[in-house]
Amino acid sequence: MGLTPQATKPGDERATFLPNYMASNLSFDASRTRLASRDFGGLTGAPPHGVLVPSSVHEIANLVRVAYEADAHFRVAAKGHAHSIQGQAQAPGGVVIEMEALKGCLFNVGVLENESCSFSSSYSVERESVERESGGSLYYADVWGGELWIDVLHETLKHGLAPRSWTDYLYLTVGGTLSNAGISGQAFNHGPQISNVYELDVVTGKGELLTCSKHQNSELFHSVLGGLGQFGIITRARIALEPAPQRVRWIRVLYSDFNTFTRDQEHLISLHGRTKFDYVEGFVIVDEGLINNWRSSFFSPRNPIKLQSIVSGSKGTVLYCLEVTKNYDEATADTVDQEVDSLLKTLSFIQGSVFTTDLPYIDFLDRVHKAELKLRAKGLWDVPHPWLNLFIPKSKIADFDAGVFKGILGKKTSGPILIYPMNKNRWDEKTSAVTPDEDVFYLVAFLRSALDNGEETQSLRYLQDQNERILRFCEEANIEMKQYLPHHTKRAQWVQHYGPKWAEFEERKATFDPKNILAPGQRIFSAAQPIILPSASSS
């Protein structure tokens, strides 16, 4: 396949087909390739032939160029923090690039000249808001593609700034989330992370290192954003920043009626200007234990919330929690209570179910990591994660509730179920990301953990079968959903996933990665097959 390693001593092999300065950073050690074959999902394992631990971006470009020019080319995948679920960052028999090896190599905060602004016209209102709050300046951060978002946050806060759009979990790499979309509760307002990027440096499937933006190599720019790694490896991103707030008012309220819950969510994401919440999410509660789920320590374990005391007399067994925040600092501290109360008065949640906490901005953004540490201490983090993330059109979300939340799930689940709406006009249609064809659509994320504890409803096989039932239900109910962080095994499924964008997607592949070298673990254009990992919890 083009890789011809030559052993120099036990456990230390080098590739003779690469220049000496780069071959020294390419390892064929079994322990390293085994580690590169695992990810957060824990469902598949496909070991690469080698692992590149780069010392510069040029080594990455040279590796891909060698693969492109070789008679028998090999495949290459960039691996960040390995948080993929189905082996998407794996390169069976090829080379995995450890992007985190160069963490900290690049960080710079600057001011963008207005005429170079990359926001699309649909963001004109938001741009004016950013300029006003920033004293007329548009700030950015240049960061390495393998940098973790938590480190980007720490560095930008030193300048009183922060990125505008986030993911719920910050121990993900910049290049990884930008290759998908990057979403959280801010997306209704600022759009996903891919809508908040000014410029990129990208290594294409030909081994070219190119700078791109909406004004320079624009086709590459839009291809890579949300492109699942198919068109290039992101080595630098210029990220939009805004003045960082100091504190966050964090509120949760409960609903027993789904239509009321979604109506209130949709109302909140329709608001503009300063009179709105800064973050809108929500989750589904099908059993009482999930009110204190692993995603946060919002409710004190010393004072657990007893759902029956709140919803006594309510119809149904499924509850819905709306989660919102309001950012503030010293200048707005005196008015935050009034603003929050004014917004809450427009909602129709269960009376007496308002739960509020107040914390530093950084602690809110890093909330999931605190729960991660608790799970790691209990040995419950490194378990299989058969996650399923779906974009559901607004017109079908009530059908989904009836068929899945009140039907397929039963009364037990094995992890949080997120649900929140987003505005399609905050997504740049020129990127490779796909969403339902409606003005408003919902993320529904089943973030479950498979446990080998004797409980059938928490076993890997049960949860995977349930995921398949959910997908079949969507098809039978004519719910034209899109998978987020998609996993498909057949070409026809990918064609259906991209819909009208498929022809363009194929053309972009032929332009930027004509030999199908990059990201084979996505299994879109190549036949790379993962190895299904054995698990006691699957029985």
Beta bridge partner(s), residue 327: 248
Rounded to whole angstroms, the Cα distance separating 492 from 215 reads 34
Q: Which of 167-181, 392-406, 469-483, 519-533 has the lowest mean pLDDT?
A: 519-533
Q: Is the pLDDT of residue 475 over 90?
A: yes
- Confidence check: pLDDT of 480 > 50: yes
Reference 44, options 379, 521, 524; nearest CA is 521
Summarize the confidence of residues 303-322 as an average pLDDT: 67
User: Residue 108 CB: number of other CB atoms within 10 A?
Assistant: 11
Handedness of CA 27, 31, 37, 40 (dihedral sign): negative
Residues found in the chain? 539
pLDDT band at 311 (very low <50, low <70, confident <90, very high): low
Calculate mean pLDDT across residues 148-163.
97
**Residue written as token pair 């957060």:** 40
- Least trusted range by pLDDT, from 66-70, 123-127, 390-394: 123-127
d(CA 421, CA 277): 14
Q: What is the mean pLDDT of residues 471-488?
A: 97
Report the percentage of the chain scoring pLDDT > 90: 76
Q: Which is higher by pLDDT, 352 or 181?
A: 181
Cα R_g (the chain), whole angstroms: 23
Identify the CA nearest to 182 among candidates 117, 226, 245: 226
Q: Hunting for tokens 């092999």 — which residue is that?
A: 13
DSSP string, 513-534: -TT--B-GGG-SSS---PEEPP
**Residues designated catalytic:** 83, 168, 281
pLDDT at 274: 82
Nearest residue to 486 via CA among 179, 144, 263, 187:
179
Burial of 113: CB neighbours in 10 Å, binned 0-12, 13-18, 19+: exposed
The pLDDT value given to residue 307:
58
If you average pLDDT over each of 5-14, 57-66, 122-131, 528-537, which comes out highest? 57-66
Most confident of 128-132, 220-224, 292-296: 220-224
Percent of the chain with pLDDT strictly greater than 70? 83
Q: Which residues pair with residue 255 across a beta bridge?
A: 320
Of 403, 259, 257, the C-alpha closest to 316 is 257
The span from the CA of 89 to the CA of 519, in Å, is 6
pLDDT band of residue 122 (cuts 50, 70, 90) is very low
What SS3 class is residue 369? helix
Please report which confidence band the pLDDT of residue 304 belongs to, taking 50, 70 and 90 as the band edges.
Answer: low
Q: What is the mean pLDDT of residues 14-43?
A: 79
Q: What is the mean pLDDT of the chain?
A: 87
- At residue 116, the pLDDT reads 47
pLDDT digits (tens, 9 = 90+) for 318-349: 999 999 999 999 999 999 999 999 999 999 99
Domains of the chain: 107-111+136-243 (3.30.465.10), 247-483 (3.40.462.10)
Which pLDDT value is given to residue 19? 56
Half-sphere exposure of residue 330: CA atoms within 13 angstroms, side-chain side: 0
Cα(458)–Cα(539) distance, rounded to whole angstroms?
A: 11
Q: Could you tell me the pTM of the whole model?
A: 0.90
Select the more confidently predicted residue: 336 or 312: 336
pLDDT at 259 > cutoff 80: yes
Per-residue confidence at 144, pLDDT binned at 50, 70, 90? Answer: very high
| Confidence category of residue 191, pLDDT binned at 50, 70, 90 | very high
